[in-house]
Amino acid sequence: MTQDKSTSATAFSMNGGDGPYSYAENSSYQRKAIEATQGMISEEKFDVKQMCSSSSPMTFCIADLGCSVGPNTFIAMQNIIDGMKEKNKSQGHSSQIPEFQVFFNDQVLNDFNKLLMSLPLHREYFASAVPGSFYDRLFPKASLHFVYSSSSIHWLSMVPKPVEDMNSPAFNKGRIHYGGAAKEVVDAYLAQFVSDMECFLSARAEELVSRGLMGLLVPTRKKANLILSTVLSHHPFDVLGSCLMDMATKGLLEEEKVDSFNLPLYIPTVEEFEEAMKSNEHFSIERFELLGLKSSSEIVPETLSMHARASMEGRIGEHFGIEILDELFDLFTKKAAELGICNSGNRFDAELFVLLKRK
Amino acid sequence: MTQDKSTSATAFSMNGGDGPYSYAENSSYQRKAIEATQGMISEEKFDVKQMCSSSSPMTFCIADLGCSVGPNTFIAMQNIIDGMKEKNKSQGHSSQIPEFQVFFNDQVLNDFNKLLMSLPLHREYFASAVPGSFYDRLFPKASLHFVYSSSSIHWLSMVPKPVEDMNSPAFNKGRIHYGGAAKEVVDAYLAQFVSDMECFLSARAEELVSRGLMGLLVPTRKKANLILSTVLSHHPFDVLGSCLMDMATKGLLEEEKVDSFNLPLYIPTVEEFEEAMKSNEHFSIERFELLGLKSSSEIVPETLSMHARASMEGRIGEHFGIEILDELFDLFTKKAAELGICNSGNRFDAELFVLLKRK
């Protein structure tokens, strides 16, 4: 085993702490998605006792991959435990309540101190933190019963290499993402996504017990038939890229710095995601459902800007210097207002919930 | 399950970071003890395959209780893994090498970020961090194969209550520890130690698999027949207490503050420790050996002072205010030199290594 695959993946943990730009204060959207899946898990057919048959005494192990610093992960884990307890009871195994062990995973640079200090005091599980990239193995063979991941696996393990290669047709000049870019750039991003999903599923196939479950929440685009770059041209990341270019034009930063900065993030179409999930022979798709969540109607440019800053400040500060951050996100707020990109339809089309079962 | 038993236990994590007063820079003594036990573990009789029989596929789970921030814990864990691999090989199970999972445990206020960021890059195990007091349950039933703890279980779960009760004969006026104190104070500390060891062994008896091992390194005193307070009167903690009283006399802090401050730490005699280990019916004592380590001869008062600061700065700063720290430890260095307390014989008599087996 080695640690993280790439430094770019390592650097992409969310903002820690609890300041105004922290992830903890800027993740209400993710929370809504978690709540929407709660009912679905409890509707599924599976036997908790059977799943735990390889462990004696009965322990049910859950992992949240890309958990960040809370509190969303605590809500999600409790929901899963409640669902499992309910299921176990309805199947007449009330006398045998399993013990629960929860593994909170994120990149090694995640603020684990904040996560562990804010664990619920009266929790029903044994907690533990696991650092590292979920594109590698993180757990022993057949040691998990339920894997969960929300709004995380659209973050790639690394920026696709051709996108940062000046001699490649996929070199992404003047942009920080594939929105509005040439087809070669989009293709390079998609290829990285497909390769990453293979690694993700192979690792999980080893770690999950037979009949183990994996619930994934992932943002997707619906319109596979349109040219990606058109669909995404008003995506917040593209707007952020154009703000950086504006600052380069004003001489506040070097244009080459923008050329060499790219976000390792790909929002797949529903079809692309389904194909990636089907590519691994060890899983069956038990549920595949578009949640169709919308951001709350109150979202204002300032809020969108804070959300973007929560997830990207670390990486941008590291590449361009932290002194540009305030001006950059002020500019972003103004542009977001001018372009009217604050409704969720322009961010991504739908949150997808997928439930996979290990064969 | 609840989190830590008491706030006092929670507050007692070692200094994080890597500054001159950090635990990482001031723990060479602990490292020597770890190395001394390495050979002993590999000499023991046990069957790795048999120990792992309840887990399929074969996974060997190790926990370090009170791991601090490294690097000692990484050395210790690798030593145990090397020992297990060697044992497995010598027993002809070379084709079946188990996977290893290591749980690094310490108080919730431990600097887990530092620990996880400094994990060896090419490690042979899946790593995870577990926050909480080891006087409570930390892991699911029968989920561990080897528990290790070095220089940690002499830290009590809390300051004995009578010691801070003005109306008790055990009220510890003008001192911060039991050295040089009345018999009632010593008795209160011993009672707390006995009670804590019961909790510790009960929790581990649940968590270890049948035939699972527990290796403990603990500082002990030999001279059970002498009055404790005499033996310990030149212990660094007592010297630190007298430095605090000197500062109170000078008006630099309030004497009541010293009265209400006590270290939750008890160094048992070999006999007391043996009795505590025998009190739990679920364990057999496989090995019980005094290592007789000495601190390296180069130890100077400044080094002793830095060691003391590494382990106690947090707690003292919280109670008295951080502004007293520099003066306090300067004074400590001077007193340590005057009293000549820098040889290890005056700190504790011997490091004890105990290997227990879960029946």
Residues of B in contact with A57 (CB under 8 A): 140-142
Closest-CA distance, B347 to chain A, in angstroms, reads 33
What residues does A149 pair with on adjacent strands?
A216
Helix (H, G, I), strand (E, B) or coil at B313: helix
Predicted local confidence at residue A231, as pLDDT:
47
Residues of A in contact with B55 (CB under 8 A): 54-55
Q: How far is CA B229 from CA A271, B177, B187, in A?
A: 76, 10, 11
Q: What would the pLDDT profile of B110-165 be if each residue is shown by its tens digit?
A: 999 999 999 999 999 999 999 999 999 999 999 999 999 998 999 999 999 999 99
Average pLDDT, chain A: 83
Q: How would residue A343 be classed by pLDDT, with cut points 50, 70 and 90?
A: low
Predicted local confidence at residue B248, as pLDDT:
95
**Interface contact A56-B123, CB threshold 8 A:** no
Size (chain B), residues: 359
B115 burial via Cβ count (<10 Å: 0-12, 13-18, 19+)? buried
Q: Which residues of A touch B (CB under 8 A)?
A: 1-3, 54-57, 59, 99-101, 103, 108-109, 111-113, 116-117, 119, 121-132, 137-143
Phi, psi dihedral angles at A178 (to 5 degrees) = -85, -10
Q: What would the pLDDT profile of A79-116 be if each residue is shown by its tens digit?
A: 889 888 888 888 777 777 899 999 999 999 999 999 99
Closest-CA distance, A61 to chain B, in angstroms, reads 10
DSSP alpha helices (H): ranges in A12-122? 28-43, 48-51, 72-90, 112-117
For tokens 């006399």, the residue is B249
Q: What would the pLDDT profile of A164-215 be if each residue is shown by its tens digit?
A: 999 999 999 999 988 888 899 999 999 999 999 999 999 999 999 999 999 9
**From B240-249, B318-327, B335-344, the region with the lowest mean pLDDT:** B335-344
Q: Which residues lie closer than 8 Å to B330 by C-beta, 6 or more apart?
A: none
Helix (H, G, I), strand (E, B) or coil at A209: strand
Of B1, B59, B103, the CB nearest to A143: B59
Of A54, A112, A140, the CB nearest to B101: A140
DSSP alpha helices (H): ranges in chain B? 7-10, 28-43, 48-51, 72-90, 112-117, 183-207, 228-231, 236-249, 255-259, 270-278, 301-320, 325-339
Q: Are B128 and A130 in contact (CB under 8 A)?
A: yes
**Interface contact B55-A55, CB threshold 8 A:** yes
- What average pLDDT does range B259-288 have in this prediction? 93
Predicted local confidence at residue B349, as pLDDT:
66
Q: Which residues of B touch A (CB under 8 A)?
A: 1-3, 54-57, 59, 99-101, 103, 108-109, 111-113, 116-117, 119, 121-132, 137-143
**Is the alpha carbon torsion for A66, A72, A78, A81 positive or negative?**
negative
> Chain-centre distance of CA B132, in angstroms?
14
Percent of chain B with pLDDT over 70: 78
**Is the alpha carbon torsion for A204, A205, A208, A211 positive or negative?**
positive
Q: Are B19 and A103 in contact (CB under 8 A)?
A: no
Q: Are A351 and A290 in contact (CB under 8 A)?
A: yes
Of A2, A99, A127, the CB nearest to B141: A99
Nearest chain A alpha carbon to B60: A140
Which amino acid is it at B146?
F
Q: How would residue A163 be classed by pLDDT, with cut points 50, 70 and 90?
A: very high
- Taking CA A53 as the corner, what is the angle to CA A51 and CA A57, rounded to the nearest 5 degrees? 120
Tokens matching residue B194? 């006995």
Of B2, B99, B119, the CB nearest to A140: B99
Residues of A in contact with B59 (CB under 8 A): 140-141, 143
What residues does A213 pair with on adjacent strands?
A146, A357
Q: Which residue has the higher pLDDT, B107 or B311?
A: B107
Q: Are B148 and B135 in contact (CB under 8 A)?
A: no
* Residue of B2, B3, B58 to mutate when probing chain A, most A C-beta within 10 A: B3
**Is the alpha carbon torsion for A113, A119, A121, A123 positive or negative?**
negative
Predicted local confidence at residue A9, as pLDDT:
35
Helix (H) or strand (E) holding A303: helix A301-320
A286 burial via Cβ count (<10 Å: 0-12, 13-18, 19+)? middle
Paired sense of beta strands A350-358 and A283-290, if any: antiparallel
Q: What would the pLDDT profile of A3-40 be if each residue is shown by its tens digit?
A: 333 333 333 455 666 565 555 555 555 566 666 666 66
Nearest chain B alpha carbon to A140: B99
A212 burial via Cβ count (<10 Å: 0-12, 13-18, 19+)? buried
Say how far apart CA B257 and CA B174 lie, in whole Å. Answer: 9
Tokens matching residue A155? 């973050």
**Interface contact A56-B142, CB threshold 8 A:** yes
Predicted local confidence at residue B140, as pLDDT:
96
Predicted local confidence at residue B3, as pLDDT:
34
Among A243, A232, A236, A244, which residue's Cα sits nearest to residue A183? A232
Closest-CA distance, A329 to chain B, in angstroms, reads 28
Closest-CA distance, A95 to chain B, in angstroms, reads 16
Tokens matching residue B296? 């390296």
Of B103, B121, B122, the CB nearest to A128: B103
Q: Are B103 and B61 in contact (CB under 8 A)?
A: yes
Q: Which residue has the higher pLDDT, A344 or B218?
A: B218
Say how far apart CA A20 and CA A30 lie, in whole Å. Answer: 17
Percent of chain A with pLDDT over 70: 78
Say how far apart CA A294 and CA A299 lie, in whole Å. Answer: 10
Domains of chain A: 7-358 (3.40.50.150)
A163 burial via Cβ count (<10 Å: 0-12, 13-18, 19+)? buried
A·B CB contacts under 8 A: 101
Predicted local confidence at residue A149, as pLDDT:
96
**Interface contact B119-A131, CB threshold 8 A:** yes
Of B57, B117, B126, the CB nearest to A139: B126
What residues does A358 pair with on adjacent strands?
A283
**Interface contact A121-B3, CB threshold 8 A:** yes
**Interface contact A143-B101, CB threshold 8 A:** yes
Q: Which residue has the higher pLDDT, B36 or B225?
A: B36
Nearest chain A alpha carbon to B3: A121
Q: How far is CA A344 from CA A27, A71, A238, A321, B172, in A?
A: 14, 23, 15, 30, 64
Q: Which of A332-341, B33-42, B160-169 has the highest mean pLDDT?
A: B160-169
CA atoms within 13 A on the CB side of B116: 31
| Concatenated DSSP letters of B204-261 | HHHHEEEEEEEEEEEEEBS-TTS-HHHHTTTSHHHHHHHHHHHHHHTTSS-HHHHHT-
Predicted local confidence at residue B336, as pLDDT:
87
Predicted local confidence at residue B348, as pLDDT:
58
Return the DSSP state at A306: H
Q: Are B116 and A131 in contact (CB under 8 A)?
A: yes
What residues does A354 pair with on adjacent strands?
A216, A288
What residues does B216 pair with on adjacent strands?
B149, B354
CA atoms within 13 A on the CB side of B90: 13
Predicted local confidence at residue B226, as pLDDT:
46
For tokens 């009220």, the residue is B171
**Interface contact A128-B130, CB threshold 8 A:** yes
**Interface contact A112-B113, CB threshold 8 A:** yes
**Interface contact B108-A117, CB threshold 8 A:** yes
**From A216-220, A237-241, B119-123, the region with the lowest mean pLDDT:** A237-241
With 70 as the cut, is the pLDDT of residue B227 above it? no
Say how far apart CA B104 and CA B130 lie, in whole Å. Answer: 6
**Interface contact A126-B126, CB threshold 8 A:** no
Tokens matching residue B210? 């049948």
Q: How far is CA B128 from CA B5, B101, B131, B146, B338, in A?
A: 22, 8, 10, 15, 45
Tokens matching residue A42? 């409890």
